[in-house]
Amino acid sequence: MRKSYRRKVPAQDIHVNDWLLTYSDMITLLLCFFAVFLSVSVPKSELLRAQQAALSGWNTSDFAGSHAAKGKTNIVVPADAMVGNRIIALKMSSRLFFMPGSATLTPQGKTILKKEADMLLAPQYRGYEITVEGHTDDTPVHTAEFPDNWVLSSARAGAVVSYFITLGINPQMLRAAGYADVFPIAPDRDANGHAIPANQAKNRRVVIKLQKIGAAE
Tens-place pLDDT, residues 67-88? 333 333 333 334 344 454 557 7
Q: Which structural domain, as residue segments, surrounds residue 80?
A: 43-212
Tens-place pLDDT, residues 105-158? 999 999 999 999 998 898 888 888 999 999 999 999 999 999 999 999 999 999
Count: domains in the chain: 1
With respect to residue 1, please indicate whether it lies within any of the assigned structural domains: no
pLDDT of residue 34: 46
With respect to residue 137, please indicate whether it lies within any of the assigned structural domains: yes
pLDDT of residue 90: 86
Q: What is the number of other CB atoms lying within 10 angstroms of the CB of residue 171? A: 10
| Residue 26: band (very low, low, confident or very high) from pLDDT cuts 50, 70, 90 | low
Please give the distance of CA 203 from its chain centroid, rounded to a whole number. 15
pLDDT of residue 58: 37
pLDDT of residue 206: 95
pLDDT of residue 194: 95
pLDDT of residue 180: 96
Mean of pLDDT over the chain: 74
With respect to residue 200, please indicate whether it lies within any of the assigned structural domains: yes
Please give the distance of CA 151 from its chain centroid, rounded to a whole number. 23
pLDDT of residue 25: 52
With respect to residue 54, please indicate whether it lies within any of the assigned structural domains: yes
Tell me the pTM.
0.64
Q: Which residue has better confidence, 163 or 15?
A: 163
The SS3 call for residue 34 is: helix
- List the alpha helices (DSSP H) in 130-214: 149-166, 197-203
Interval 177-189 mean pLDDT: 95
With respect to residue 156, please indicate whether it lies within any of the assigned structural domains: yes
pLDDT of residue 124: 82
Share of the chain above pLDDT 90, in %: 49
The SS3 call for residue 136 is: coil
Q: Which residue has better confidence, 9 or 165?
A: 165
With respect to residue 18, please indicate whether it lies within any of the assigned structural domains: no
With respect to residue 157, please indicate whether it lies within any of the assigned structural domains: yes
pLDDT of residue 126: 81
Q: What is the number of other CB atoms lying within 10 angstroms of the CB of residue 73? A: 16
With respect to residue 7, please indicate whether it lies within any of the assigned structural domains: no
Write the CATH number for 197: 3.30.1330.60
